[in-house]
Amino acid sequence: MDELLFLQDEVVPALLKGLRVSILLIVPSAFFGLFIGILVGALRVYGSRPVVFAADIYVTLFRGIPLVVQLFIWYFGLPYLGIYLSPFTASIVGFSLCSGAYHSEYIRGALKSIKRGQMLAAQALGFSKFQMVVSVILPQGLRRALPGCGNEIIYLIKYSSLAYMVTCIELTGEAKILASHSFKYTEVYLAAGGFYLGLVSIAGWILHRLERRVAIPGFEHHRG
Amino acid sequence: MESEPILVVENIKKAFGPRVILKGVSMAIRRGELKVLIGPSGAGKSTFLQCINFLVTPDAGEIRLEGRPIHHSRKRELYAYRQQVGMIFQDFNLFDHLTALDNVMIGLVRVKGMDRKSARERAMAEIERVGLKEHAGHYPAQLSGGQKQRISIARALAMDPKVMLLDEPTSALDPELIGEVLAVIRDLVANGMTMVMATHQIGFSRAMANEIIFMEDGLIVEQGPPSVILSDARCERTKEFCSKITELYGEAS
């Protein structure tokens, strides 16, 4: 009985507070990350040589350095340059840039899978390279990239838990505080895990709907 | 027929690394003419056609449309020129994410800057012209090969090209679908469209072409009216090739 009361009176309110912060972190990070990913992915395929080089360096750095370290740099490192970010802003910046690097890889693969013939056809009609990428390649590439990018967003939901390392107290942060006060690690973290599972399930459902909505004959992802 | 040629292509050369594809190919075509390119695969027919609208950048040579030389390094000039030169590909190259109607409309809207309503009307007219009105709402995946090629012809026609380049438009089609595409092309000839077409459809070429150009190893070996090239070629190699494709593709068209 005690356990239930503890859950009801302490765990759930604290985690709901954390959940709100988590969602405020995840939603903008997902959008910015996807935006960066599309931009960088397209530049890596269609950019000029120096642009491709710069974009590759971005991806190498942000995929190669552990996210915690990146967050530390944004939060603890930038003040050395006189730039102060709040824990919340530092987290969004870190998540967006990291997520963008991963997205760009999915996008790049999808763009490259578009048959070259369609680009020739677009050019033959008088499209500029930019028009071709925007009206012919991206609409197809993004449909192909959707399952991969969806995966990255699901992953973002879980690595958003790193925000508490730079004192942005979100779901995991609240759980950690409560657990170390009450010493009920198992209960609290199980409950937090349940919250993440719920978030991921909702995101998965939305992504699935989106995939169905933008489906076009010839672009279906065949399911077994 | 004594008028100035509408399109002049002079001494086009192209090499990919050490592989020389075109060794200096020239051609002049007058308004309303149909020239047919024949030759074995690897002769450079496709590369030649793609050089004409700079999908492949020639290493040397000059191209003049209505007397004006084209400077392909000036982007605006290049895009404007390409709008006037329609291209039909062997494997159709329709935009897979767009319906037949949108495939025909997109160039009008994005490139010509036409408003959607007039673009739609124009696109529908072209789709009707190729006899696919009832398929306007279908996606490429829902069309047969012959239908796809007819839509791609409608897409090119909607841009009001002065010249059309056709790169083996029927080679990827099942035999029973070839006829419907050739019928559309025949209709274009009847309406005075200027065209350069690479094809193995020998019967069609005999009936419709003003001139047949036989290419091999990046050079024009022989050119002349179909009656001469197909039956009475001077060059031994031309004779050999023509009898081979006549045997293979028959006289029917």
Instruction: Break chain A into its structural domains and give their ranges.
Output: 2-214
Whether A1 has its CB under 8 Å from any CB of chain B: the answer is: no
Measured CB to CB, residues of chain B less than 8 Å from chain A are: 50, 53, 55, 75, 79-80, 82-83, 85-87, 89, 91-97, 106-107, 110-111, 138-142, 152, 155-156, 159
CATH entry, A2-214, from 3.40.50.620, 3.40.640.10, 3.40.50.1000, 1.10.3720.10: 1.10.3720.10
Strand-pair category, B85-88 with B163-167:
parallel
pLDDT of residue A209: 94
In DSSP terms, which residues pair with B34 in a beta bridge?
B195
**DSSP H or E segment with residue A172:** helix A171-182
Is the pLDDT score of A220 beyond 80? no
pLDDT of residue B47: 95
pLDDT band for A224, please (50, 70, 90 cuts). Answer: very low
pLDDT of residue B250: 64
Cβ B96–A218 below 8 Å, yes or no? yes
pLDDT band for A218, please (50, 70, 90 cuts). Answer: confident
What 8-state DSSP symbol labels residue A47? S
Cα A115-A116-A119 angle, rounded to 5 deg: 110
Chain A residue numbers with beta carbons less than 8 Å from the beta carbon of B155 are 121, 125
Question: Virtual CA dihedral for B146, B148, B149, B152, nearest 10 degrees?
Answer: 160
A140-151 pLDDT per residue, tens? 999 999 999 999
CA distance A10 to A187: 11
Of B97, B110, B152, the CB nearest to A216: B97
Of B82, B140, B152, the CB nearest to A126: B82
Contact at 8 Å (CB) between A184 and A15?
no
ipTM of the complex: 0.90
Chain B residue numbers with beta carbons less than 8 Å from the beta carbon of A138 are none
Instruction: Pick the range with the lowest mean pLDDT from A34-43, A122-131, B140-149, B170-179.
Output: B170-179
Cβ A217–B106 below 8 Å, yes or no? no
CA distance B143 to B124: 17
Cβ B95–A121 below 8 Å, yes or no? yes
Whether A131 has its CB under 8 Å from any CB of chain B: the answer is: yes
CA distance B57 to B64: 15
Other beta carbons within 10 angstroms of residue B44's beta carbon come to 24
> Across chain A, what does the average pLDDT equal?
92
SS3 state of residue B34: strand
Sheet holding B194-198, edge to edge: B85-88, B163-167, B194-198, B34-38, B211-216, B219-224
Of A115, A136, A217, the CB nearest to B141: A217
pLDDT of residue B2: 52
pTM for the structure as a whole: 0.84
For the stretch B116-127, what's the b/e string if a residue is b when 16 or more beta carbons lie within 10 angstroms of its beta carbon? eeebbebbbebb
pLDDT tens string for chain B (253 positions)?
A: 457 899 999 999 999 999 999 999 999 999 999 999 999 888 999 999 999 999 999 999 999 999 999 998 999 999 999 999 999 999 999 999 999 999 999 999 999 999 999 999 999 999 999 999 999 999 999 999 999 999 999 999 999 999 999 999 999 898 889 999 999 999 999 999 999 999 988 889 989 999 999 999 999 999 999 988 888 878 888 888 888 888 777 654 4
Residues 6+ apart with CB under 8 A from B112: B83, B119, B159
